[in-house]
Structure 1
Amino acid sequence: MKKNSKKGKATRRPTKAEVAQRQKIQQVLLRLLGVFLLIFAATRLGVFGVTAYNLVRFVAGSTAYLLIAGLVILLLFGHRLARHEGVISGFLLFIVGILVEFQAYMDWYFKGADLFGQTFQVAISELTNFRVSQFLGGGMLGALVYMPISFLFANEGSFLIGALLIAFGLFFMSPWTVYDLADFVAMAREKQKEHDHVRAEKRAIRQEEKRLRMEAQEAARVEAEAQAALVAEEEASRQALLESEAMEKRAIDMETGEIPSGSTFDEEFSRDFEPQISTYEPYADEIENIDYPDFPMEDLPFQTENEFPVLLAEDEEFLEETEVVTPVRKQPTLKERLAYKLPSINLFAPVKATSQVNEKKLVRHNIKVLEDTFASFGIKVVVERAEIGPSVTRYEIKPAVGVRVNRISNLADDLALALAAKDVRIEAPIPGKSLVGIEVPNAEIAPVSFRELWEQSKTDANKLLEVPLGKAVNGSAQTFDLTRMPHLLVAGSTGSGKSVAVNGIISSILMKARPDQVKFMMIDPKMVELSVYNDIPHLLIPVVTNPRKASRALQKVVDEMENRYELFSKVGVRNIEGYNAKVEEFNSQTEEKQIPLPLIVVIVDELADLMMVASKEVEDAIIRLGQKARAAGIHMILATQRPSVDVISGLIKANVPSRVAFAVASGTDSRTILGENGAEKLLGRGDMLFHPIGQSAPMRLQGSFISDDDVERIVTFIKDQAEAEYDENFDPGEVSENDSDSSGNGGATEGDPLFAEAKALVIETQKASASMIQRRLSVGFNRATRLMEELEEAGVIGPAEGTKPRKVLEK
């Protein structure tokens, strides 16, 4: 018999999504049930409502309504509140603070009774009698929390602890964080500090003005006394001269030639006799016939011949010669040195500091974004610290072991996208640290004023060419000593802050150096950047604006360098410091004073214009100065807004090792200046990369801003103290339109100095061609062609005959 068997139907296991959905529905139902019960407890409807409310009172005491409201909000919106950090913890602190306050009041009300037992007894009585009539303080929970607090701080201290817990709870529930509170406190301190600083500056300005007024009054008083003394001295001299003349007239009778009896006359006789003699002018023949009596010559009241030196003819010629020869450099006297006062920093207007509180808020957000972005690319990093600078914020990240640095460097664009930044520069690694720096532009650039940078830098007063350049990312002031650079190349596109930086360097030197210590030669082909410094006593010559004159002026500096080296070799020293030390030692031992050599700073504001007009001469002068001028005390600052290889040649780069790069258009320009990329990512407005000699990598700085008014004030202050005395040894002279062309070969005009050499060369070789003259005499093609024309006009060579060589007519 066939047995019928029936398989049971298999049940399907629910999926994870279905399980999660069921759990979510259960949670919602439980929350709604809890809200329903809490509402019944709050309304106290019927026995169930009163009992539920008393159960809540048993836990929280008279704060039951507050606990019910909090639990309702937590059940309905708990999933949303959990997203906001600190809301739940803040609410718990707030509830605990309320419980402590109520329980402290209950303890004070019952005045030392058994608080825990009293609370329990009242709560059970209310619960069993289904009534709500007595004050329960903070309930059993409040009693448990209050007991250790009251034991430690007593009843009065418990009130203060409860208030603190309430305040912290409200603060944690608020949208502000501890960082925001710290930023608020820091901002308040900064405002107070800024206010105090402004008051101190105003007080210093008032004191400086008062001092200047007192000095002016003292100078006026001294000048008035000196003038009065001078007038008195002149009056005394005049009276002495009148008395001397009167004595002479009384001593000799002009009619008889005899001395009257009595060598002195009374005052009345002198007054009567004086007018008659003053109008008498004897003729020469009358004087010759005068019979002079015998008396000793020393008794005569007038001066003898020996007291009046006779000026001979040869002496007159000598004086005429000495009047023509004038010293080139004037040795400043001690009075002049003491009279010259260095400019005060109060000449520069203070600039209000920019608050960076918003940047601090953004930093915390960016740290999380950086870590998440690197994690999305499979790179584990930790942000060690963040430094907020004037223009950028640098995040120092520490990659995990095994992470290659170039993986981080290749993510610059992705990081800029994630951070919504204009651009991101990655410094991998930071020199001297096992960290990688990521520089992100700030939302708002905080300008650095020249006055702020000068006061913060505190440069050495004895180092005349040590000047502040800008602020680093960490906020420290960075200075450089031009004597150690020893030359500086500054490049950047238009509007990047190049000219402002040059003005800052010049102003810094003027703040520290007297005219006899540092001299400037300024070359400004644009005619608008450096012309404000005309007529200051520090200039060797007026600001040169003609590019043709500029090449000659640079050659004059080269000649000065060679002259100084010859002077060093005669004295037996190696550099300008040794020479000036010898001069100081010599001046201390003898009365005959020698002149110390000043430092010379050559500033070229636009090198590209010079290279277009006279590239060969300018490049040769720069190379020679770059190679040898440091020991002679000559330093160069070369600036250009076109950093291309035809302006900044390889030889110039090799001899100018220190560079400052402002914002440029491309990485090619950046590599021309610095030898690496980076300047194309700068922000402009003074943002720079400074690469001094001896440093492995450039550092990012925010240059100081100095206004035109500030420059005008310091220049006016210096001009009011001393006048410019230009050195004719550096005068480039006048140039004609036929002077050096774009190839920099020099013009060959009629009577060219090389004409004789070219003629001798042609006669010796019996060959005549422009290429030969160009090659043998090291001149350009244009000049060689003009020399050929002069040779033809002089009859040395014949005319051109097409492709045939010219005939040499002289043998």
Structure 2
Amino acid sequence: MQKENVTTNKLLYEVWGFVLIAVGIFLFAALVFNAGGIVGENIALLLKGCFGILALTLPLLIFISGITLIIKKTRNIATKTIVLFFVIFLLLSLLNSGRFIEPDNTKYTLLDYYDLSKTYDSGGLIPMAIAGVIVSVLGKVGLYIFSIVGVIIAVLFLRNKPLSSSFSSIEDKITIKKAEQREQKEVERIRAKEIRREQERENLAKQEMLRKKAEEAKAFLNSGELIDYRYDFESGKNSDLSYLSNSGRTLKYTSDTDIFGPDASKAPDEKADNRIEKFDFDHINTDESSKVEFSDNINDNIRNKPEKTISNKEAKEAFLSEDELNKGKTSNRYKLPPLNLLVPPEPENKVDPRQLRFMASHLEDTLSSFNVDAKVINVTQGPAITRYEIQPNVGVKVSKIVSLADDIALNLRARSIRIEAPIPGKAAVGIEVENGSIHMVRVSELIASRAFKSAKSKIAFGVGKDISGNPIVSDIKSMPHLLIAGSTGSGKSVCINSMIASILYKAKPDEVKLILVDPKVVELGNYNGIPHLLIPVVTEPAKAAAALNWAVVEMNERYNKFANIGVRDLESYNEKMVHQGSKDEKLPQIVIIVDELADLMMAAPSQVEESICRLAQKARAAGMHIVVATQRPSVDVITGLIKANIPSRIAFAVSSQFDSRTILDMSGAEKLVGNGDMLYNPMGIKKPKRVQGCFISDQEVNNIIEYVKSQVEDVEYSGDVIKTIENGNISSKQSKVDEDDELMSEAIECVINAGQASVSMLQRRFRIGYNRAARIVDTMEERGFVGPQDGSKPRQVLITEDEFQQMSIMEE
């Protein structure tokens, strides 16, 4: 019933609105064009007599009032607006009457004012009458002040906003514009600085290359072979140069080509001076007009050797043979992968300021409809989401805004929103809304960034971009261990591939070694064959547990080595080895990556949990770090001990608050939009940071792997480690057999004879406790002797008496 009344009232408002529009048009035709007939003519004379020249604005006022009735949502707002329109009209009429009224107000009567107003020679009967009263009390100046101030007040009520807010809005726009200009200048300055640094790096690389070439040339010259390559000033031919050391003269040679090129026999362009100078091998110029000096005192033992003349071709062959000798050194020849193996970053999505302003205004209206007085003070658009920073007024509780999350999402037509209340370091609440289109952050953009290039750690990796578009580069060494969790398809495996690719772009095989555990078999298997692997990719859960156990043993051995020479961490140990001249004894950093923890916890929960906890507690200083990933973030997989010892977390999109709390100890991950959207919470940060993770395709991964593999002929895995893991796997299987209950054989015979198996039956037959009987039944199920549990029904026996006897004979 109430809904019908509201609909009826709205219909009446619209009818009255159209009536007023029609009246306004009719009066306009009568007043301006005298086209209203007899009725219109009389009404026009009446209005002119009453209001003077301002009667011409009355039709427009009535027309606008009709439109107001139609478009305004409520009757109160429409009535208030129309009343204010007429108040402003009356005040303007008073202001106009001040031109005609006399201070003594005795010259004309009211009827005179009425007649004069018809020809626009007066302000109108009604305004003149009111103005006469005001002038008699306040004078004409008071009339003007009263009218002008009244108009200003009416306009303020009509706007329903204070002037201070308008000035603040203008001031905010000016401040934002200046900030944008400063930011643009800063971006241009940083870009120019990066260009200069890139040029400097290229120049340094060229100088380094030339320096190495100069060292090779110097080593060749010191070998005494090139001493016989002489130039005769008189004949212009190669001859003995032994007299140079006796005469104290130096030869300066200018050539358009290489020193060993075909033009090496040309005459020098400069004369020899009377000094013996040393050839500067560290400053070789590559310009075409470069000058090369041969000026070195020849020591006696070389000078006394029988001289031998060699050709330019032989000299070149000497350099080639020296290069061939260096080809056997893999560590020296290894080159880090180039950036052209990766797909270049895509252009960023253009920001539409009008759309952002509309959404900000819509958000303010939404909050206002729930009696939350707040305003948007800043908008930041990131690769995947846009954050609106809301500043609530004094007295507004933050919890009230947080409780409106679903209502805000409904009004903004967003799939879901995340509210960060408050934003760390700001007096504002962040409302994060998903963008219409997600900008893909390529791993090439992170690897080419200044943050990644300047990172000194060999195990730094690109995480992604934050909400402001800044690249986030992290260091596994400072984490020092990492837990990654998220539902299937949320970006977990891509994050691991990006991490491995970043390490391959940073570290050589002798600097970082990897142990990859992939129970799913298909995720990390393509990394087999890269020289960074300590062992082949582990796919069997039993071997994975043995690999983790080996890592614990290796950690303890490293600490023993540190204690023997009096150092505390891997970096100090390697520095001391270099200082002692034992470079071969340097130890690499080891990164252990487990792609699916849930499979390992199902196969060997106690052993895996113990190894992970021991590594997480002590392995940092030993240069060993563990990265654990899972798509099942439940408490039986990510146990309390594992969480307590792995402080750094990355949470991708999950299905519930419980999973989010399991990973981060707080909700929020269930609000993520997927496709690499993450909450990044490294050690030392109180609140997780929202980051759009970088993307690396399978083709890019294969490009990097093929490039790395092409630099080594045969990958040599650590045979000792593989043997230890295999032995550990066998011993673990044997230990399971050894741990069998002494009643196992009798229990198997019992269930075979009974034709069914249950815990309660074993308890009664052998008079043992529940725990022991349950372990015996579980062991039978693992070995395939009995079937799985089927509610309260007994288990089915899957083995016959003859088969069991044959197995017993084979074991004996």
> Which bracket does the TM-score occupy, shorter chain normalised?
0.5 to 0.7
- 2:725 is equivalent to residue 725 of structure 1: no
> Which residue is equivalent to 2:451?
458
2:391 aligned residue (393, 398, 422):
398
2:374 aligned residue (357, 373, 381):
381
* Alignment check: 8 A CA contact 2:633 2:662 kept: yes
Change beyond 3 A, Cα 1:78–1:476: farther
RCO comparison, higher one (Cα < 8 Å, 6+):
1
Change beyond 3 A, Cα 1:628–1:379: same
1:625 aligned residue (612, 615, 636):
615
Question: CA offset at residue 31 of structure 1?
Answer: 3.7
- For each residue in 1:85-134, what CA deviation from the matched residue of structure 2 results, as whole angstroms up to 9, or x when unmatched? xxxxxxxxxxxxxxxxxxxxxxxxxxxxxxxxxxxxxxxxxxxxxxxxxx
Question: CA offset at residue 77 of structure 1?
Answer: 8.7
Measure, in 1, the Cα distance between the counterparts of 2:670 and 2:12: 56
Question: CA offset at residue 374 of structure 1?
Answer: 1.4
The 5 Å alignment of 1:659-678 reads 659-678=649-668
* Alignment check: 8 A CA contact 1:601 1:635 kept: yes
Change beyond 3 A, Cα 1:521–1:77: same
> Which residue is equivalent to 2:571?
577
- Alignment-mate amino acid for residue 26 of structure 2: L
> Which residue is equivalent to 1:791?
none
* Alignment check: 8 A CA contact 1:457 1:468 kept: no
Deviates more, 1:333-342 or 1:523-532: 333-342
* Alignment check: 8 A CA contact 2:17 2:65 kept: no
- For each residue in 1:399-449, what CA deviation from the matched residue of structure 2 results, as whole angstroms up to 9, or x when unmatched? 111222111111111111111110111111111111111111111111111
- 2:674 is equivalent to residue 684 of structure 1: yes
SS of alignment partner, residue 448 of structure 1 = coil
SS of alignment partner, residue 580 of structure 2 = helix
Deviates more, 1:75-84 or 1:626-635: 75-84
Question: CA offset at residue 505 of structure 1?
Answer: 0.5
SS of alignment partner, residue 680 of structure 1 = helix
Measure, in 1, the Cα distance between the counterparts of 2:560 and 2:711: 34
Measure, in 2, the Cα distance between the counterparts of 1:23 and 1:364: 32
* Alignment check: 8 A CA contact 1:557 1:730 kept: no
- 2:522 is equivalent to residue 528 of structure 1: yes
> Which residue is equivalent to 1:704?
694
> Which residue is equivalent to 1:415?
408
1:435 aligned residue (418, 428, 439):
428
Question: CA offset at residue 578 of structure 1?
Answer: 1.0
Change beyond 3 A, Cα 1:739–1:583: closer
Measure, in 2, the Cα distance between the counterparts of 1:707 and 1:350: 12
- 2:635 is equivalent to residue 642 of structure 1: no
SS of alignment partner, residue 721 of structure 1 = coil
Measure, in 2, the Cα distance between the counterparts of 1:519 and 1:80: 76
Measure, in 2, the Cα distance between the counterparts of 1:21 and 1:495: 57
Measure, in 2, the Cα distance between the counterparts of 1:365 and 1:626: 49
Change beyond 3 A, Cα 1:19–1:725: closer
1:506 aligned residue (500, 505, 526):
500
* Alignment check: 8 A CA contact 1:425 1:681 kept: yes
Change beyond 3 A, Cα 1:715–1:80: farther
Change beyond 3 A, Cα 1:30–1:555: closer
Question: CA offset at residue 26 of structure 1?
Answer: 7.0
Question: CA offset at residue 639 of structure 1?
Answer: 0.5
* Alignment check: 8 A CA contact 1:382 1:397 kept: yes
* Alignment check: 8 A CA contact 1:561 1:629 kept: yes
> Which residue is equivalent to 1:652?
642
- For each residue in 1:470-524, what CA deviation from the matched residue of structure 2 results, as whole angstroms up to 9, or x when unmatched? 1111111111111111000000110000000000000001001000000000000
- For each residue in 1:220-279, what CA deviation from the matched residue of structure 2 results, as whole angstroms up to 9, or x when unmatched? xx9xxxxxxxxxxxxxxxxxxxxxxxxxxxxxxxxxxxxxxxxxxxxxxxxxxxxxxxxx
Change beyond 3 A, Cα 1:377–1:338: same
> Which residue is equivalent to 2:598?
608
Measure, in 2, the Cα distance between the counterparts of 1:335 and 1:73: 92
- For each residue in 1:633-685, what CA deviation from the matched residue of structure 2 results, as whole angstroms up to 9, or x when unmatched? 00011000001111000000001110000011111011000001111111111
Measure, in 2, the Cα distance between the counterparts of 1:76 and 1:640: 68
Measure, in 2, the Cα distance between the counterparts of 1:692 and 1:516: 27
Indicate the percent of aligned positions where both proteins have the same amino acid: 45
Measure, in 2, the Cα distance between the counterparts of 1:493 and 1:479: 23
TM-score (norm 2): 0.54
2:335 aligned residue (315, 337, 341):
341
- For each residue in 1:514-537, what CA deviation from the matched residue of structure 2 results, as whole angstroms up to 9, or x when unmatched? 000000000001111101110100
- Alignment-mate amino acid for residue 700 of structure 1: R
Measure, in 2, the Cα distance between the counterparts of 1:729 and 1:735: 10
Measure, in 2, the Cα distance between the counterparts of 1:73 and 1:566: 95
- Alignment-mate amino acid for residue 597 of structure 2: L
> Which residue is equivalent to 1:539?
533
> Which residue is equivalent to 1:240?
none
Question: CA offset at residue 735 of structure 1?
Answer: 7.7
How big is the alpha-carbon RMSD for the aligned residues of Structure 1 and Structure 2?
4.6
> Which residue is equivalent to 1:562?
556
- Alignment-mate amino acid for residue 540 of structure 1: L
- 2:470 is equivalent to residue 480 of structure 1: no
Change beyond 3 A, Cα 1:428–1:662: same
* Alignment check: 8 A CA contact 2:465 2:471 kept: yes
Deviates more, 1:496-505 or 1:459-468: 459-468
The 5 Å alignment of 1:58-77 reads none
Count of residue pairs the alignment pairs up? 487
* Alignment check: 8 A CA contact 1:369 1:419 kept: yes
Measure, in 2, the Cα distance between the counterparts of 1:511 and 1:575: 24
Measure, in 2, the Cα distance between the counterparts of 1:770 and 1:654: 41
- For each residue in 1:774-803, what CA deviation from the matched residue of structure 2 results, as whole angstroms up to 9, or x when unmatched? 99xxxx879999xxxxxxxxxxxxxxxxxx
The 5 Å alignment of 1:771-810 reads none
TM-score (norm 1): 0.54
SS of alignment partner, residue 407 of structure 1 = helix
Measure, in 2, the Cα distance between the counterparts of 1:525 and 1:467: 23
* Alignment check: 8 A CA contact 2:661 2:667 kept: yes
SS of alignment partner, residue 445 of structure 1 = coil
Change beyond 3 A, Cα 1:514–1:499: same
- Alignment-mate amino acid for residue 627 of structure 2: I
Measure, in 1, the Cα distance between the counterparts of 2:470 and 2:669: 21
> Which residue is equivalent to 2:363?
370
2:441 aligned residue (448, 452, 457):
448
SS of alignment partner, residue 443 of structure 1 = coil
Measure, in 1, the Cα distance between the counterparts of 2:506 and 2:328: 18
> Which residue is equivalent to 2:313?
none
Measure, in 1, the Cα distance between the counterparts of 2:648 and 2:13: 70
